[in-house]
Amino acid sequence: MTHPSSATRNRVFVLSGLGVALLIGVFLSPFASQNPDGLDRVAQDLKFDKKAAEVPLANKLPFYQIFDGYALRGVPQQFATPLAGLLGTLATFCLAWGVGKLTSRGTTPPDEASPIE
């Protein structure tokens, strides 16, 4: 009987986790609270939310043309938030995967390392 290699087990684990994260991002994001998040709420409570810059720096970023808060611009409302959840989850995964690949470059897993004699 053959056992799957650790690389295969890791791949299945990562893809399963990504699948669960995508399901959560797509199907649960429409149920997110419409109330302000922590920082916005504190700014409202302490009455300094009106002192923000007239044109926030975030509005100058390239992604501002695509995203409107937690939704996509120009997409019907019932699809905008789930699609933003999908894209956000994929972007976060790709960023984390890329950083992981860059930081682990050149290392060999213990089961593939040459034996020390």
CA distance 7 to 18: 16
- Strands of the chain (E only): list them: 67-68, 71-72
pLDDT, tens digit, for every residue of 65-106?
777 777 788 888 888 889 988 998 999 999 999 999 999 876
* pTM score of the predicted model: 0.67
pLDDT, tens digit, for every residue of 56-66?
777 777 777 77
The count of C-alpha atoms lying within 13 angstroms of the C-alpha of 36, restricted to the half-sphere facing its C-beta, is 9
- The bridge status of strand 67-68 relative to strand 71-72 is antiparallel
CA distance 93 to 19: 11
Q: Where are the domains of the chain?
A: 16-103
Highest mean pLDDT among 11-25, 43-57, 72-86: 11-25
